[in-house]
Amino acid sequence: MENSCLFCRIVAGEIPATIVHRTATTVAFRDIDPKAPTHVLVIPVAHHADVTALAGDPSAAADVLAAAAKVAEIEGLDDGFRVIFNTGAHGGQEVFHVHAHVVGGAPLGPMLARP
């Protein structure tokens, strides 16, 4: 746990969040500013800054992917969804505790906005 990390504090229950799924190693909660009808963030309990760091912890990485799939099932995203890891400056990452965005619930349009 890193005291200065927003998402570590959500894991610890110090900051409220609407949790939709939890395992021993992952927490999934609704994004505070949803970009789609369903927009859930899936994080490992263990602090890793980004997906590159998460890739160095294969067990946690597998657990995050499994939780993302479970969230899609719970949320009824049977017509499809996206799993997005924004990474670094060009990726637009704002919170440096790795998180998978699980978005869906409507057609999501082009994969990328044009710059």
**CB of 63 closer than 8 Å to CB of 81:** no
**Partner interacting with residue 81 (select from ligand 5GP, Zn ion, none; CB below 5-8 Å by kind):** none
For Zn ion, the binding residue among 30, 47, 70, 82 (CB under 5 A) is: 47
Binding mask 7-46 for Zn ion (x = CB under 5 A): xx--------------------------------------
Strands (E), 1-115: 19-22, 26-30, 38-44, 81-84, 100-104
Binding footprint of ligand 5GP on the chain (CB under 6 A): 6, 17, 29-33, 86, 92-95
